[in-house]
Amino acid sequence: MKIPPSRKIAHLSLDSPFLLAPMAGFTDFAFRRICRRLGAGLVFTEMASVEGLRRHAAKTLHYLESGEEERPVAAHFYGGDPAAFAEAAAVIESLGRFDLIDINCGCPVPKITRRGAGAALIREPGKIETIVKAVRTASRLPVTVKTRPGTVPAHPRIGEILRAVEDGGAAALIIHGRFARDRHQGEADWETIGEVKEAAAIPVIGNGGIETASGALSALRRYRVDGVMIGRAAIGNPWIFTEAKALLEGTPFTPPSPEERYRVIAEHLRNLYRSKREEARIRGRDQSLAGLASCREFYGHLVNYLAATPGLGELRRKIAHTENPETLLRDIAALLEL
Ligand SMILES: Cc1cc2nc3c(=O)[nH]c(=O)nc-3n(C[C@H](O)[C@H](O)[C@H](O)COP(=O)(O)O)c2cc1C
């Protein structure tokens, strides 16, 4: 059945078709809320384990830190056991802070696939269907599946996966257009994403290789998908969501000034620090290490936020030893000549 592109996933109306991809180590609450405010239509948590949630592991619960200002937000899970998914889904619904449950069927990391989770599920469409059904039975939240065209190009599995996901009753399918073998490198196969959209009765979100706002809009229009998910290009540039939405709506976009860039960096780092302190408190660890941990974790974001700024090299060397986020912020302000 052919359905026209829509901004709805189940009952959720998205205010933008450009979505933030789940990225372990990056898409924590501090970053997600910035992306939402700057125009992402839907954001996804870092990957959390259904087994961890089952055990109420502090680390897993921390991955699920969230808040009203980022909604709608999807809880993104990996696992291999339908019963554990069902338990996790019930817990997620009871938290009352999530709008959707997303099942990871694409992570190629051996630590995950060895447990029959992530990309290992690509070889078992029947199990994907069972998991989707288990989650739907356990909770009323809409369910989405994020997957890839297959593990290797010689054996595309996406047709079978689409049927499994639809038969299981999922609300949407998200396709990262690279084969699992290719991890995050090489071209994403958007032609296949477009073909799946043509064949699907549920919304299809495309993902992979989007580098600019105009690239996101072109993919949306050319492949007639219901949404375009952006990963790495949003790191250090959450304004990509503002720009893509402006292009779609034909409204002007002004790139961030150094002051605006600094404001977002400061908000991001301070919230990350707050969150690290809270994590340390919950896990019974030394809270005084939270400064160092947050500066280190912020590194990947910061080098992208400041990619075009002269003098970044020296700051890069300092970050690893900075214990106080406010010291780092002073250095950043100086670099931006504020
Ligand atoms: C650092 C990093 C972490 C990622 N973590 C996850 C994850 O936890 N779950 C997932 O489904 N995909 C994960 N991905 C894949 C992204 O969601 C996305 O599919 C991929 O990066 C392709 O999009 P892009 O080319 O726009 O970056 C990760 C990617 C990166 C670079």
What's the CA-to-centroid distance between 27 and ligand 1, angstroms? 10
Can you tell me whether residue 74 is helix, strand or coil? strand
User: In this structure, which residue's CA is closest to atom 22 in ligand 1?
Assistant: 208
Q: Is the pLDDT of residue 60 over 70?
A: yes
Q: Whose CA is nearest to atom 5 of ligand 1?
A: 23
Q: What is residue 1's predicted lDDT score, i.e. its pLDDT?
A: 56
Determine which one of 35, 105, 107, 295 is catalytic: 107
Poorest-pLDDT segment among 5-9, 153-157, 165-169, 267-271: 5-9
Strand partners, 18: 228
The SS3 call for residue 146 is: strand
Ligand 1 atom having least distance to the Cα of 209: 25
Query: Phi and psi for 173 in degrees, rounded to 5?
Result: -120, 130
Output the CA–CA distances (angstroms, integers) from residue 247 to 177, 217, 221, 242, in the order listed. Answer: 24, 7, 12, 9
End-to-end CA distance of the chain: 56
Residue 214 has a pLDDT of: 98
Ligand 1 first shell, C-beta below 6 A: 21-26, 46-47, 76, 104, 106-107, 146, 176, 184, 207-210, 230-233
Consecutive H or E run containing 167: helix 158-168
* Largest pairwise CA distance in the chain: 57
CA separation for the pair 314, 88 (Å, rounded)? 44
pLDDT at 251 over 60: yes
CB 208 within 8 A of CB 180: no
Global confidence as pTM? 0.97
Q: Report CA torsion sign: 10, 11, 12, 18.
A: positive
Please confirm, yes or no, whether 107 is among the known catalytic residues.
yes
The alpha carbon of residue 337 and the mean position of all alpha carbons in its chain are separated, in whole angstroms, by 32
Q: What is the mean pLDDT of residues 84-109?
A: 96
Q: What is the mean pLDDT of residues 104-115?
A: 97
- Choice from 102, 147, 184 to test ligand 1 binding pocket (greatest atom count within 8 A of CB): 184
pLDDT at residue 287 is higher than 90 = no
**Among 98-112, 194-208, 226-240, 304-318, where is mean pLDDT lowest?**
304-318
Q: What is the tens place of the pLDDT at every residue in 120-150?
A: 999 999 999 999 999 999 999 999 999 999 9
Cβ pair 157, 184 in contact under 8 A = no
**Substitution site in 145, 232, 235, 237 for ligand 1 pocket (most atoms within 8 Å of beta carbon):** 232
> Of ligand 1's atoms, which has the minimum distance to the CA of residue 178?
22
Ligand 1 center from residue 303 Cα (angstroms): 18
Question: Which CATH superfamily, name and number, covers 8-249?
Answer: Aldolase class I (3.20.20.70)
pLDDT higher than threshold 80 for residue 30: yes
Give distance in angstroms: CA of 308 to centre of ligand 1. 23
How confident is the model over 294-300, as a mean pLDDT? Answer: 94
Please work out, in degrees rounded to the nearest 5, the angle formed at the alpha carbon of residue 46 by the alpha carbons of 153 and 330.
120
Closest by CA to 1, choosing from 192, 174, 204, is 204
Ligand 1 centre distance from Cα of residue 231 (Å): 6
Ligand 1 centre to CA of 24 (Å) is 7
pLDDT for position 219: 98
The whole-chain average pLDDT of the chain stands at 95
Whether residue 194 has pLDDT greater than 80? yes
What is the C-alpha to C-alpha distance for residues 41 and 19, in angstroms, rounded to an integer? 5
pLDDT at residue 2, as a whole number: 67
Q: Which residue is it, tokens 């109306």?
A: 13
Ligand 1 pocket: which of 19, 176, 193, 218 to mutate (most atoms within 8 A of CB): 176
Q: What is the pLDDT of residue 35?
A: 98
Range scoring the smallest mean pLDDT among 21-25, 69-73, 278-282, 299-303: 278-282
Residue 175 forms beta bridges with which residues? Answer: 147, 206
